């Protein structure tokens, strides 16, 4: 098994499924007890379009999303979403994502866990 395959196997246990299926890990580093995982959206065109109709047009700025801690280290996902441009019209496109719980910077599963443990939405401090 190659190093890449080993990394992908480990990532399946650590990262949300939607992230593993649609983003590539492009970097991992630890800084002062925080694990930073950098992810770029894969080159999969938005639904309704074929790759021949669109050209990749770079990435949006990185967004930080907090996920479950690993071995007592905070985990921050740095996610870059891809931009596309339609070759015929020059119109810009992107794939819509719902990677965070509404109103938070937490992954949906991490926010649900915190809500279950603390009994309230972690970003508001109020009961639902």
* One domain, residues 24 and 49: yes
Task: Return d(Cα 59, Cα 84) in angstroms, integer.
Answer: 9
Number of domains in the chain: 2
* One domain, residues 109 and 88: no
| pLDDT of res. 77 | 92
Alpha carbon 102 to its chain's center: 15
Task: Return d(Cα 39, Cα 63) in angstroms, integer.
Answer: 10
* One domain, residues 59 and 109: no
Domain of residue 39 covers 3-97
* One domain, residues 90 and 121: no
* One domain, residues 80 and 53: yes
* One domain, residues 109 and 70: no
Task: Return d(Cα 11, Cα 4) in angstroms, integer.
Answer: 10
One pLDDT digit (tens) per residue for the chain, 128 residues: 788 788 778 888 888 888 888 999 998 899 999 999 999 999 888 888 887 889 889 999 999 988 888 888 899 999 999 999 998 899 888 887 777 777 777 777 777 777 777 775 555 555 44
* One domain, residues 125 and 64: no
Selection from 18, 89, 98 nearest residue 49 by Cα? 89
* One domain, residues 114 and 92: no
* One domain, residues 91 and 115: no
* One domain, residues 22 and 50: yes
């Amino acid at each position: 098994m190659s190093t890449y395959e080993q990394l992908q196997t480990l990532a399946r246990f650590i990262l949300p499924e939607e992230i593993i299926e649609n983003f590539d890990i492009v970097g991992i580093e630890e800084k002062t007890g925080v694990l930073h995982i950098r992810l770029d959206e894969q080159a999969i065109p938005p639904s309704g379009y074929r790759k021949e109709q669109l050209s990749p047009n770079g990435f949006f700025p990185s967004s930080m999303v907090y996920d479950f801690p690993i071995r007592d280290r905070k985990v921050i996902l740095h996610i870059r979403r891809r931009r596309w441009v339609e070759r015929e019209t020059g119109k810009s496109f992107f794939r819509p994502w719902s990677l965070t719980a509404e109103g938070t910077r937490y992954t949906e599963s991490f926010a649900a866990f915190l809500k279950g443990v603390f009994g309230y939405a972690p970003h508001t401090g109020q009961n639902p």
